[in-house]
Amino acid sequence: MDKEERKKYEEAIEKNTMESIKNTEYPLYRRSHWDEWGSPVGLMLAWAPGLVCIGIFLWLLHLAGLIG
């Protein structure tokens, strides 16, 4: 990528960023991606280890005869 192409690319990025900031219907700060904590995938990644541990713990209690 030469200097001219790079300059056009940077200007396009800046233009799109400024337009997205001005978008009041869907503001930039509310946009999320699949790997962020507020997304369904991020929430699953946060909750899954805890739920799996609770499940294993309850299964072990069941094997020990402490719960039905």
Give yes or no for residue 27 having a pLDDT over 90.
no
Percent of the residues in the chain that have a pLDDT greater than 90, as a whole number: 40
Quick one: pLDDT at residue 50? 95
Which ranges of 1-68 does DSSP label H, i.e. alpha helix?
3-22, 40-63
On whether the pTM is more than 0.85, the answer is no
Residue 40, phi then psi, degrees to nearest 5: -55, -40
The better pLDDT of the pair 67, 28 is held by: 67
**Half-sphere exposure (CA, 13 Å, Cβ side) for 24?**
0
Higher-confidence residue: 63 or 30?
63
- Examine the pLDDT at 30 and tell me if it is beyond 60: no
